[in-house]
């Protein structure tokens, strides 16, 4: 399967026509991608399979561009490559789309989802056995911290929230100490679109964060078993996230 690209191989699959074809998109910095970023997709897959409504056709990482002003953000070319390395030998259904990362300015999440909509459904969607086409359902995959930011004043525009939650939908992975359903009840727009939000409980909590990984690298500490070895090796080779002359342990 192609690591970077749009459903070149997935489109050739024969879908279960009793289910809605689904593509999951995760937007974020992925600086660097960790095992939690991989695990989130698997948790979402379990939830989707259990529901029996959708058939997952693919999952995509969409790394943000270098123009997103955030501390610790490695250049987009490195983050795209690290995401590719993370899925290259670990998954048969996860891929990386470099469109957002390659844009000359920051792209809002709603715009990124609309990009996927155009690329996947611009020609009508996935082929059915009778020659017809069926549109892909596209959903955003995110952690509970992102959905909580939906309620922060000035962070998200109301029109964008209606696009993300209403037109597309969200798969939300709960984090330790968070109560997504309580937040849904308290936020008018989220509550309005609650039927288009799927909450995923973590049965085994994983709190690996890119922020902590970057700090470990900066302090010369081991990051082994926090992210795939291929990504660790890439960080080591390109001297990412570290102080000058600091050796990376666990590479």
pLDDT digits (tens, 9 = 90+) for 47-58: 999 989 999 999
63 neighbors 76 (Cβ within 8 angstroms): yes
Find the mean pLDDT for residues 97-109: 95
- pLDDT for residue 8: 46
Q: Which position has the higher pLDDT, 110 or 202?
A: 110
- pLDDT for residue 248: 47
- Domain positions in the chain are 10-206
Q: How far is CA 142 from the centre of its chain?
A: 6
As a three-state string, the secondary structure of 97-163 is: CCCCCCCCCCCCHHHHHHHHHHHHHCCCCEECCCCCEECCEEEEEEEHHHHHHCCCCCCCCHHHHHH
Find the mean pLDDT for residues 73-100: 96
Q: Is this structure's pTM higher than 0.75?
A: yes
Question: For residues 63 and 101, what is the distance between their CA atoms, to the nearest angstrom?
Answer: 5
- pLDDT for residue 28: 92
Find the mean pLDDT for residues 162-166: 92
Q: Which position has the higher pLDDT, 175 or 142?
A: 142
Q: In the CATH hierarchy, which top-level class contains the domain 10-206?
A: alpha beta
Work out the angle between the directed axes of helices 76-88 and 35-51 (0-180°, nearest 10).
Answer: 60
Which pLDDT band, with edges at 50, 70 and 90, does 25 fall under? Answer: very high
- pLDDT for residue 75: 95
- pLDDT for residue 206: 83
The total of other beta-carbon atoms located within 10 Å of residue 90's CB is 12
55 neighbors 15 (Cβ within 8 angstroms): yes
Geometric angle at alpha carbon 142, from 141 and 147, rounded to 5°: 130
Residue 215, Cβ density class (10 Å: 0-12 exposed, 13-18 middle, ≥19 buried):
middle
Give yes or no for residue 211 having a pLDDT over 70: yes
For the ranges 3-12, 13-22, 131-140, 143-152, the one whose mean pLDDT is highest: 131-140
Which pLDDT band, with edges at 50, 70 and 90, does 202 fall under? Answer: confident
Q: What are phi and psi of 96, to 5 degrees?
A: -125, 130
Question: For residues 88 and 226, what is the distance between their CA atoms, to the nearest angstrom?
Answer: 17
Find the mean pLDDT for residues 112-122: 96
Mean of all residue pLDDT scores within the chain: 86
Give yes or no for residue 139 having a pLDDT over 90: yes
């Amino acid at each position: 399967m192609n690591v970077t690209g749009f459903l070149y191989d997935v489109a050739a699959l024969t879908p279960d026509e009793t289910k809605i074809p689904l593509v999951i998109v995760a937007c974020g910095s992925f600086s660097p991608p960790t095992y939690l970023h991989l695990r989130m997709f698997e948790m979402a897959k379990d939830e989707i399979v259990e529901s029996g409504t959708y058939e997952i056709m693919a999952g995509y990482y969409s790394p943000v561009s270098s123009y997103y002003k955030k501390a610790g953000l490695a250049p987009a070319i490195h983050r795209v490559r690290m995401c590719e390395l993370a899925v290259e030998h670990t998954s048969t259904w996860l891929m990386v789309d470099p469109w957002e990362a390659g844009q000359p300015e920051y792209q809002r999440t709603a715009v990124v989802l609309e990009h996927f909509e155009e690329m996947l459904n611009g020609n009508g969607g996935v082929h059915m056995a009778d020659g017809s086409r069926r549109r892909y359902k596209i959903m955003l995959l995110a952690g509970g911290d992102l959905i909580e930011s939906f309620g922060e004043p000035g962070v998200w525009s109301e029109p964008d929230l209606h696009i993300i939650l209403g037109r597309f939908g969200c798969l939300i992975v709960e984090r330790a100490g968070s109560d997504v359903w309580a937040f849904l009840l308290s936020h008018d727009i989220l509550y309005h679109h609650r039927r288009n939000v799927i909450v995923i409980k973590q049965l085994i909590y994983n709190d690996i964060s890119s922020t902590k990984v970057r700090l470990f690298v900066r302090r010369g500490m081991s990051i082994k078993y926090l992210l795939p070895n291929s990504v660790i090796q890439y960080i080591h080779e390109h001297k990412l996230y570290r102080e000058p002359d600091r050796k990376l342990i666990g590479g």
